[in-house]
């Protein structure tokens, strides 16, 4: 028996008798659990999952046991993967965003503090003092970075590239990616890059002085010092992980949830092999929302600096992202049924006034069906799927994402065993993203069993 066996068992029984969502507070159910434990804060990422949720569903023996495989097909920055590793599960992640894959990989792989400190000394020693390095392929580089900042970033990057151990190099690339965003001219309060300008707020506005001070700081920033601070904090995080996690095997991080393949080569799919069917015991995931977070745009400066793809190829990643908002007019000339009657009714009505928004949402549901079908393929019979999602508003219409995802799951042969609702207190999800979507404040946690 583990810490949460009884509590989970009671909730499942209560749900079986009332058949209505139960209200819970995960922070109270797992008191004292720190969101920043171990390497969780190694790099920021949009819409991160509340750590308490995967912890609660992993710290029990009802859904999975140590040694079982746990998958997060939309792993983002690897919250589920790290909690899984800490509780001795084998983990597999997938994310279309190369920055998410890098963070996840680094976050869960323990590295020796001593080795990191040695290598950091050599990075600092090897930083060249050149101004002739080729600039990275970042869209509008001069718009996002002061020239002296670009020059220093280039020198640091050049030195990191020389490291021959790929795991150590990846660790420093995560630190570098954090640093690049921090010393950019993008507003640090927002996830999507929006450039700060002096005097952009009227006199007397509470952000005026703060913004101007931030810009003044960037004009004379020592980027190497900023990088050193980030590295120091991340080495301390890694040293905590190293003490509790001795599993040094390379994690499996796939890219597309619609076709789970080992090997993270996104542009050369032929090199990859499918994750075997019936191999996973438990899936825990918080999938993207329709038109909600722009994951690739949010991390476009990082993707460019790390050279994951040319600026012109960013579109390829965006096109594979579920919930994306950019479509060409030809793509939404006709309405394509999602097969979910309640959703089709709303979306056909919406099509008359906003065909693009209607298409964004119907295509979101169609692609989520593909992803959940793939999840079902790799799950063992009687394995579990935990979905964390929420209702949102699409152009004034209530859009019941959890209900539609439940319909999809049931069509695929899953049965709902538990449904919980928690209020989201994290600011990441509470930001209103555009005028057609809404603030998400209540999270639905649905536990399904595969037939």
Ligand X SMILES: C[S@@+](CC[C@H](N)C(=O)[O-])C[C@H]1O[C@@H](n2cnc3c(N)ncnc32)[C@H](O)[C@@H]1O
Closest to ligand X by CB, 295 or 308: 295
Binder of ligand X out of 79, 159, 281, 363 (CB under 6 A): 79
Total residues contacting ligand X by CB under 6 A comes to 22
Distance CA 311, CA 308 (A): 9
Distance CA 63, CA 123 (A): 44
Question: What six digits make up the tokens of 221?
Answer: 């920033």
Distance CA 255, CA 104 (A): 12
CB within 8 Å of 315: residues ≥ 6 apart: none
Distance CA 422, CA 21 (A): 10
Question: What six digits make up the tokens of 95?
Answer: 């994310």
Binder of ligand X out of 94, 102, 282, 340 (CB under 6 A): 94
DSSP 3-state of 250: coil
Nearest to 106 by CA among 238, 287, 300: 238
Min CB(404)–ligand X separation in Å: 16
Angle between helices 401-411 and 341-353 (to 10 degrees): 130
Min CB(376)–ligand X separation in Å: 15
| Phi, then psi, of 388 in degrees rounded to 5 | -110, 115
Q: Is 298 in contact with 110 (CB distance < 8 Å)?
A: no
Nearest to 348 by CA among 340, 248, 271: 340
Closest to ligand X by CB, 45 or 120: 45
Question: Does residue 56 interact with ligand X by CB under 6 A?
Answer: no
Closest to ligand X by CB, 101 or 119: 101
For residues 270 to 309, the per-residue mask of contacts with ligand X, x marking binding by CB under 6 A and - elsewhere, is ----------------x-x------x--------------
Min CB(30)–ligand X separation in Å: 16
Distance CA 323, CA 298 (A): 14
Question: Which residues, 239 to 258, sit near ligand X by CB under 6 A?
Answer: 256-258
Contact segment (CB under 6 A) with ligand X among 13-21, 74-82, 177-185, 270-278 equals: 74-82
Residue with smallest beta-carbon separation from ligand X: 76
Min CB(192)–ligand X separation in Å: 13
Binder of ligand X out of 11, 86, 100, 360 (CB under 6 A): 100
Question: Does residue 96 interact with ligand X by CB under 6 A?
Answer: yes
Exposure string of 379-388, with b = 16+ CB inside 10 Å and e = fewer, is: beeebbbbbb
Please give the angle made by the CA atoms of 429, 87 and 251, to the nearest 5 degrees. 80
Min CB(20)–ligand X separation in Å: 26
Closest to ligand X by CB, 52 or 258: 258
Min CB(370)–ligand X separation in Å: 9
DSSP 3-state of 36: coil
Question: Does residue 48 interact with ligand X by CB under 6 A?
Answer: yes
CB within 8 Å of 198: residues ≥ 6 apart: 211, 212, 215
Question: Which residues, 310 to 369, sit near ligand X by CB under 6 A?
Answer: 320-322
Question: Which residues, 156 to 175, sit near ligand X by CB under 6 A?
Answer: none
Contact segment (CB under 6 A) with ligand X among 75-83, 107-115, 204-212, 341-349 equals: 75-83
Contact segment (CB under 6 A) with ligand X among 7-15, 71-79, 166-174, 302-310 equals: 71-79
Closest to ligand X by CB, 44 or 160: 44
In DSSP terms, which residues pair with 448 in a beta bridge? 385, 416
Question: Does residue 387 interact with ligand X by CB under 6 A?
Answer: no
Binder of ligand X out of 44, 76, 136, 402 (CB under 6 A): 76
Distance CA 316, CA 338 (A): 24
Residues that bind ligand X (CB under 6 A): 45, 47-49, 74, 76-77, 79, 94-97, 100, 256-258, 286, 288, 295, 320-322
């Amino acid at each position: 028996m583990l810490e949460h066996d009884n509590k989970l068992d009671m909730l499942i029984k209560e749900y079986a008798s009332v058949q209505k969502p139960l209200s819970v507070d995960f922070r109270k159910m797992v008191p004292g659990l720190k969101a920043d434990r171990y390497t969780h804060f190694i790099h920021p990422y949009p819409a991160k999952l509340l750590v308490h949720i995967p912890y609660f569903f992993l710290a029990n023996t009802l859904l999975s046991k140590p040694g079982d495989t746990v998958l997060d097909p939309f792993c983002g920055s690897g919250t589920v993967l790290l909690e899984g590793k800490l509780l001795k599960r084998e983990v597999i992640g997938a994310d279309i965003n190369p920055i998410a894959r890098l963070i996840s990989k680094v976050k869960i792989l323990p590295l020796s503090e001593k080795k990191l400190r040695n290598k950091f000394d050599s990075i600092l020693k090897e930083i060249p003092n050149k101004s002739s390095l080729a600039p990275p392929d970042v869209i509008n580089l001069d718009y996002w970075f002061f020239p002296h900042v670009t020059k220093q970033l280039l020198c640091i990057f050049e030195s990191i590239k020389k490291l021959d151990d790929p795991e150590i190099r990846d660790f420093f690339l995560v630190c570098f990616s954090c640093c690049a965003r921090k010393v950019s001219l993008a507003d640090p309060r927002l996830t999507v890059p929006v450039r700060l300008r002096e005097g952009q707020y009227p006199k007397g506005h509470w952000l005026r002085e703060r913004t101007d001070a931030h810009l003044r700081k960037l004009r004379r920033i020592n980027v190497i010092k900023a990088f050193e601070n980030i590295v120091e904090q991340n080495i301390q995080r890694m040293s905590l992980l190293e003490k509790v996690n001795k599993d040094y095997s390379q994690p499996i991080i796939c890219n597309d949830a619609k076709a789970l393949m080992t090997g993270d080569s996104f542009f050369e799919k032929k090199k990859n092999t499918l994750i075997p069917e019936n191999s996973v015991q438990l899936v825990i995931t918080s999938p993207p929302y329709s038109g909600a977070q722009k994951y690739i745009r949010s991390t476009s400066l990082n993707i460019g600096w790390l050279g994951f793809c040319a600026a012109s190829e960013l579109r390829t990643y965006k096109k594979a992202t579920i919930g994306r908002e950019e479509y060409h007019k030809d793509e939404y000339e006709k309405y394509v049924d999602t097969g979910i009657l309640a959703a089709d009714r709303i979306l056909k009505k919406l099509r008359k006034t906003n065909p693009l928004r209607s298409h964004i949402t119907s295509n979101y549901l169609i692609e989520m069906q593909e992803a959940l079908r793939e999840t079902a393929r790799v799950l063992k019979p009687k394995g579990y799927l935990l979905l964390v999602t929420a209702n949102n508003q699409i152009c004034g219409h209530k859009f019941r994402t959890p209900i539609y995802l439940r319909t999809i799951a049931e069509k695929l042969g899953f049965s709902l065993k538990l449904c919980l609702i928690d209020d989201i207190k994290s600011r990441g999800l509470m930001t209103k993203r555009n005028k057609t979507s809404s603030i998400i404040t209540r999270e639905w946690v649905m536990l399904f069993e595969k037939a």
